[in-house]
Homo-oligomer: A and B are copies of this chain.
Amino acid sequence: MIPLTDEKRSKDQLKSHIREQNQTLILETSERVFARQGLAKTTTQMIANEAGLPKANIHYYYRSKKDLLEAVLERILRLWLGSVSGFNVEEGPKVNLTRYISEKIDQSRANKNASKVFAMALIGEEDFVLAFLKNLFVTQLSREKQSIQTWVDQGLMKPVPTEHLFLTIWAMTQTYADFDAQVKIMLQKEALEDSDYDDAKQFIIRMVLAGCGITE
Give min CB distance, A112 to chain B, whole Å.
Answer: 12
Could you say which interface size class chain A belongs to?
35 or more
Is A56 interfacial (CB-CB < 8 Å)? Answer: no
| In the bound complex, CA of A203 to CA of B120 (Å) | 26
Is A61 at the interface (CB under 8 A from chain B)?
Answer: no
Question: Which residues 183-206 of A sit at the B interface, judged by CB distance below 8 A?
Answer: 183, 185-187, 199-200, 203-204, 206
Each complex incorporates copies of this chain amounting to: 2
A168 in contact with B179 (CB, 8 Å):
no
Q: How far is the CA of A124 from the CA of B166 in the complex (A)?
A: 25
Shortest C-beta distance, A125 to chain B (Å), equals 5
**Residues from chain B with Cβ under 8 Å of A210 in the complex:** 207, 210-211, 213
Report which of B167, B199, B206 forms a contact with A175, defined as CB distance below 8 A: B167
Q: Give the contacting residue for A171; candidates B124, B174, B206, B208; CB below 8 A.
A: B174
Binding-face segment, A18-26, A44-52, A82-90, A130-138: A130-138
